[in-house]
Structure 1
Amino acid sequence: MSADESKSVEASSSAKAAAKGTADSIKSFISGGFGGVAAVLVGHPFDLTKTRLQTAKAGQYTGAIDVVKKALAVDGVTGLYRGVVPPLLGVTPIFALSFWAYDVSQKLIRTITPNRTSQTLSTAELAAAGFLSAVPTTLVTAPVERAKVLLQVQGQGSEKKYKGVIDVIRVLYREGGLPSIFRGSVATIMRDGPGSAAYFAAYEVVKKALTPKGADPSQLNLGAIIVAGGSAGVAMWSIAIPPDVIKSRIQSAPNGTYSGFLDCARKTIAADGVKALWKGFGPAMARAFPANAATFLGVEASRKLLDGFF
């Protein structure tokens, strides 16, 4: 083979690799959106219960079951889906960005470690990729969570100030501009950075452990996906509740209540003790397994479908 032919082959291989990388990123983006929709449909009632426990005045509820009973008494079954529109509208970009960023982060780690003996990432590297995936996602997650929390909280006895998600954004912008809409962004990254690290690492590790010897973990195995996805959710929420409590309080409180993440943490502990940082733990953990099993089923099934197209 001549030098020119060799260069042509190398160029063709590089072009094919680049095209494959782009296709993989697109598929990660789309499948992440499908996974997010599945997560919201399964998990929103649990999330509403968690948020109300975290933000309610002392003594307003006796526990998670009491929250559910009172929501049903006031609004019926639809009350359990109060505030569902913001996550449904935001879930596609949030989860799409998350899974896309996770895919890109894995490629980045391989790029900066060119002398590695295996293309398979270690558990620590998977966790690092998961943490990095939370950074761009926060740009969408923070305002969506802000709107969702305000809509969820106003159904527990406070004045119904907002008519819907568009009204929330409009009012927040009028009252405080973009800073008001993005309030709680620091708390969001404090929750989602470590949480995503545990999330993706746990999924990959558990799925690999449950895959039969000699089989490819990337192939669709419903049992392994359900258990690994559920385990990923449990791993994430086992460490994400304290910053989530602070995030919910910052995003639901009147202007000027807290000066920031640390101020909210200090005032929360001073008023209600350290145990207040674990409010909503029960509903969050109850939601974690089914919602995230649904997430990864949606991701893996849609990814397999997309692989058949390009």
Structure 2
Amino acid sequence: MLRGTQLHAGPGTPGGMWDPSYSITTGLVFGFFKGMSFPLASIAVYNSVVFGVFSNTQRFLSHHRCREPEASPPRVLSDLLLASMVAGVVSVGLGAPVDLIKIRLQMQTQPFQEANLSVKPRVAALGEQPAYQGPVHCITTIVRTEGLTGLYRGASAMLLRDVPGYCLYFIPYVFLSDWITPEAHTSPSPCAVWLAGGMAGAISWGTATPMDVMKSRLQADGVYLNKYKGVLDCISQSYQKEGLKVFFRGITVNAVRGFPMSAAMFLGYELSLQAIRGDHVATSP
């Protein structure tokens, strides 16, 4: 879910995805992929850990509750809820630094508009030497200037996004896939997995948008200047300047892209499990 984070840096940013001035000044195509090498390199590890934590936690809770040597204990909402929350916490520990590096590198493509800011920028103006030469240099710079805690800037907002976000990610998927799958089948078909995963992704990303906006702003904060004192201050300033609509910026894009992204992710996960275990979709006699 988390890996599709958008950049919501604030009113000083360009007009949007299709802003011509943004495309021209940032190098057209290459600007869209700025800062993506680091998250792309880590996404496989991240998703495997998060999905593994969820499934193993849920399985442990089910077996511990039933205390029976069943191969597939019945799934209970409380088990799914706790497993999703654990996965959300783990996702922040792994994903916060990755998101921070990605956003810091992306922010270098955006012009610093001095008219909107009253303090001196912390990085060079557009056209001069960028603050970060790449992901490794970005990490070392942040650690040197802000300490190790600097890598977790915005983690509190990310926690508020991912804990409920993963609850609305895994739980809808489990119940939707069970609902779509005929009773005669012991496991969901690829079509059921794809549809349930896509719907779960759209639900999760749509509801996670408000805190995703705040997280992105907190993580972008510090590239040019420090504007926010914390999550509450970020929420307050954003609301005062831009109104309630700021919390739903990009919600349509998030929900739409969440469907195919999550559908492919769940389908790959389920097919990988079946291949490892040698399982096949089977019907009861």
Structure 1 unaligned segments of length 5 or more: list them: 1-35
Q: CA deviation at 1:213?
A: 3.0
**Counterpart of 2:207?**
239
Which whole-Å deviations, capped at 9, do the CAs of 1:245-278 have from their partners, x for residues lacking one?
A: 1110110012642221111111111111121111
Match of 1:82 among 34, 50, 63: 34
State the partner residue of 2:140. 170
The separation in 1 between residues aligned to 2:153 and 2:13, in whole angstroms, is 27
Counterpart amino acid of 1:251? Answer: Q
Does the Cα contact within 8 Å between 2:14 and 2:22 map onto a contact in 1?
A: no
TM-score (norm 1): 0.75
Structure 1 residues 229 and 281, CA, compared in 2 at 3 Å: closer, same or farther?
A: same
**CA 1:156–1:97 in 2, change beyond 3 Å: closer, same or farther?**
same
Amino acid in structure 1 at the alignment position of 2:243: G
Q: CA deviation at 1:115?
A: 6.8
Letter in 1 for 2:163: G
Shift of 1:222: 2.1
SS of equivalent to 1:120: coil
Residues 252 and 212 of structure 1, relative CA distance in 2, 3 Å threshold: same
Secondary structure of the equivalent of 2:11? coil
Which residue does the alignment assign to 2:229?
259
Cα distance, 1:233 vs. partner?
0.7
Matches for 1:1-310 after TM superposition, within 5 Å:
47=5, 50-51=6-7, 54-57=8-11, 60-61=14-15, 63-66=16-19, 70-71=22-23, 74-114=26-66, 119-158=73-112, 159=126, 160-218=130-188, 221-254=189-222, 256-308=226-278
What is the CA distance between 1:119 and its match in structure 2? Answer: 1.9
Please give the alpha-carbon distance, in whole angstroms, between the structure 2 residues aligned to 1:124 and 1:79: 44
- Which residue type is aligned with residue 288 of structure 1? G
Question: Which residue matches 1:7?
Answer: none
CA contact (8 A) 1:234 1:289 kept: yes
| Aligned counterparts of 1:76 and 1:156: Cα–Cα separation in 2 | 12
Deviation of residue 122 (structure 1)? Answer: 2.6
Q: Is the 8 A contact 1:86 1:145 kept in 2?
A: no
Query: Counting helix residues as a fraction of each chain, which structure ranks higher?
Result: 1
**Residue 101 of structure 1, CA deviation:** 1.2
Distance 1:199 1:80, change over 3 A: same
Question: Aligned letter for 2:48?
Answer: A
Amino acid at match of 2:75: L
Task: Return structure 1 stretches of 4+ with deviation > 4 angstroms.
Answer: 115-118
CA distance in 2, matches of 1:72, 1:301: 42
- Partners of 2:92 and 2:159 within 8 A in 1: yes
**SS of residue matched to 1:90:** helix
Alpha-carbon separation, structure 1, partners of 2:25 and 2:186: 49
**Inter-partner Cα distance in structure 2 for 1:78 and 1:295:** 26
Quote the sequence identity (%): 29
Higher relative contact order (CA 8 A, sep 6+): 1
Q: What is the alpha-carbon distance in structure 2 between the residues aligned to residue 296 and residue 70 of structure 1?
A: 34
Counterpart for residue 22 of structure 1: none
Contact 2:14 2:110 in 1 (8 A): no
> Equivalents in 2 of 1:139, 1:66: separation in Å?
34
Listed one character per residue, the Cα deviations across residues 127-172 of structure 1 (whole Å, up to 9, x for unaligned) are 3321221112211111001011112222232443222211110111
* Residue identity matched to 1:130: S
2:117 equivalent in structure 1: none
**AA of the residue aligned to 2:201:** G
Gaps of 5+ in 2: 113-125, 280-285
